Each structure stands twice: as structure tokens, then as C-alpha cells.
Amino acid sequence: MFEQPIKRGLKQRCARCGQGSLFRSYLKFRDECPSCGQDFSVADTADGPAFFVGFLVMILFAPFYFILPMVSAPLVLKIVLWIILLSTMFGLALLLLPLFKAVLFNLQIRNRAEEAKWESTGSHGKPPRGWNQ
């Protein structure tokens, strides 16, 4: 069920047809699919992709941030290692962000996810009708 939108998302293709590209630029979605006409305004990934990418990248790189200060090396070497580590981390995040955004977008379209619509606030804290203490 989820295999198709995930594969199409990793290829940055439309969830419906798998042919049209999702993005018109780095992280900007097209208005619609150039192949099948799927409206891309029906879904919004918001901050989800950035959260997941940031979380994954920090899990991968956190050990280095604890180990590197304990390494006994000249200051110049440590500075070079920090620069390499930071640039690799940012590069990986920038590489993964469009992929995660495309996958989450395709999953939203496939599952017809939409913003919650509250029809009533419910009756939390109130006893049911006819209930006697």
C-alpha cells in the first residue's frame, strides 16, 4: 500500500501517475502534475520533512560531536575536522530534504490526508446523560 508512493517520492515523481516531476525548483512544488494534472495544492508537508531530516542527521552525527572534543590532536587538525563534519552534516541534510518532502507529500496525496475539521468540541469532563452519582 505504501510502497508505490514511497518509491515515486524517492524518484520525486507524482503520486498518481509516477511520471510528472513534483518540484519546479529545489523545494518548490509545481501547481499540478505536468503529466496527469493532479492538483498539488491538496497537500502540504509543512515542517515534517525538516523535522525528520534534522532528527536523522543528528542521530548519525551526534556521536562525532561527543568524541571529537576528547581526541588529543593539534588545534588546527580539530578545526579542520569540525569543518569537515559540519559541511558533511549540512550537505547530507540538504540532499535528504527534497527526498523526504517528496515522500511525505506523496503519502499525503495517496491517503487523502487533510487538516482536521472539528465539528464539535465534545463533552469532555461532563457525565453522560442519565448518569447518577
Q: Of 30, 131, 28, which Cα lies nearest the Cα of 15?
A: 30
Retrieve residue 51's grid coordinates: 523535522
Q: Give the integer Cα–Cα distance in Å for 99 and 13.
A: 10
What residue has cell string 464539535? 120
pTM for the full predicted model: 0.78
CA of 102: how far to CAs of 67, 83, 105, 120, in Å?
Answer: 34, 30, 5, 33
Please give the pLDDT value at position 119: 64
All cell numbers assigned to 37? 494534472
What DSSP letter does each residue of 97-123 carry, written as one string?
A: HHHHHHHHHHHHHHTT------S----
In the prediction, which pLDDT does 43 show? 86
Contacts of 36 (CB under 8 A, 6+ apart): 14, 16, 17, 19, 20
Contact predicate 14/8, CB 8 Å: yes
Q: Domain extents for the chain?
A: 3-110
Give the pLDDT of residue 118.
66
Tell me, what's the pLDDT at 49?
95
Residues of the chain with pLDDT under 70: 1-2, 118-133
DSSP-based three-state secondary structure for 129:
coil
Q: Let me know the angle formed at the C-alpha of 19 by 42 and 110, rounded to the nearest 5 degrees.
A: 35
pLDDT score, position 68: 87
